[in-house]
Amino acid sequence: MGDQPGDGAEQPFVAVRDACKVYDDGPRPVTALHHVDLEVPRGRFVSVIGPSGCGKSTLLRLVAGLEQPGSGEVRICGETPARATERKMIGFVPQTPALLPWLDVLGNVRVLEKVNRAARRRSAAAAPPGEQGRCDLAGDPVALLRRLGLGDVLHRRPGQLSGGMQQRTAIARAFALQPQVLLMDEPFSALDEFTREAAQLQLLDVWQELRTTVVFVTHSITEAVLLSDTVVVMAAGPGRVAGTVQVGLDRPRHSGLLDSAVLHEHEHRVRELLSDAWRAEARSAS
Ligand code: ADP
């Protein structure tokens, strides 16, 4: 892959080790995660893909510190998720954007500006040498919104926006907070295919400059391959990691890749892992 971060980037920045999670509040216990490992080096974009119910959201919630694993551990840059949350290291973009309806687009991105300023100082101090300049775009809400294609709607309220615009506003707000790790839970799943493709390319454009460490949950194989350095494939029954695919596509990535043989090869490998896992699940259920 071209344009790789330096050697220091290879240390796991997000580490989930041997995590198990059983929900036993229903009629039967559900093993949402069974000995799951996940390692995300600093500055990498990692997608998690798998069928409904395989534990993707549970995994993301553990990393966000919204839930605790039954066993195993989660670390963000060596800190517990609770401590990382306290230090505003983690950003979260949910499936449905939670925008404040009485503020316009710019207001929604600026709403946490005081937190931003503190975050900016912290990020600048924590950034490895040579990466400090990357904070500039995230520190300029108008530039960030323009790069996400929202330059013409800065003063519209959420009720006056399409779903795609709302979701991109939520993404701009998350980047503006300058988190060390950005967790995204199927942010484009409600969008039509054309809008989704445009939003993916705008996200890639911003990410290319900021290089925030991202864990991205998706149902779309193409989306996972187009965006990611690594695709983690999960299987259900119990929720586990079925395999990983390293995406060897050069960056920056562009729309032309969507029709390329090399992208299709990667899609094929992800699809194979998904169907192997599905066959194994069907065998064990029968
Ligand atoms: P995914 O995001 O891959 O669709 P989830 O992480 O949402 O999967 O869920 C994994 C499994 O855990 C599913 O069987 C789901 O029904 C179950 N589950 C998730 N959250 C809870 C909860 N709070 N209580 C009980 N079961 C849950």
Q: Is 57 in the pocket of ligand 1 (CB under 6 A)?
A: yes
Q: Is 51 in the pocket of ligand 1 (CB under 6 A)?
A: no
Extract the tokens encoding 208. Answer: 């290319």
pLDDT for the residue numbered 26: 86
pLDDT for the residue numbered 135: 60
Q: Residue 198 in contact with residue 164, Cβ under 8 Å?
A: yes
CA of residue 35 to ligand 1 center, whole Å? 16
CA of residue 10 to ligand 1 center, whole Å? 31
Which of 23, 184, 185, 220 best tests ligand 1's pocket when mutated (most atoms within 8 Å of CB)?
A: 23
CA of residue 68 to ligand 1 center, whole Å? 14
Domain locations along the chain: 5-285
Where is 76: in which H helix or E strand?
A: strand 71-76
Atom of ligand 1 nearest to the CA of 26: 25
CA of residue 260 to ligand 1 center, whole Å? 35
Extract the tokens encoding 79. Answer: 């800190």
Q: Residue 200 in contact with residue 223, Cβ under 8 Å?
A: yes
CA trace torsion 79, 80, 85, 91 (10° rounding): 80
User: Tens-of-pLDDT digits for all 286 residues of the chain?
Assistant: 333 444 444 568 999 999 999 999 889 999 999 999 999 999 999 999 999 999 999 999 999 999 999 999 999 999 999 999 999 899 999 999 999 999 999 999 998 876 656 655 665 565 555 555 456 888 899 999 999 999 999 999 999 999 999 999 999 999 999 999 999 999 999 999 999 999 999 999 999 999 999 999 999 999 999 999 999 999 998 999 999 999 999 999 999 999 999 999 999 999 999 998 888 777 777 7
CA 83 to chain centre: 20
pLDDT for the residue numbered 122: 60
Task: Judge if the upstream peptide bond of residue 238 is cis by omega within 30 degrees of 0.
Answer: yes
At 52, give phi and psi (nearest 5°). -55, 140
Query: Which residues fall within 8 angstroms of residue 240, CB to CB, at 6 or more apart?
Result: 33, 34, 35, 36, 54, 55, 234
Q: Under CATH, what is the fold of the domain 5-285?
A: Rossmann fold (3.40.50)
Question: Which residue puts its alpha carbon closest to atom 7 of ligand 1?
Answer: 57
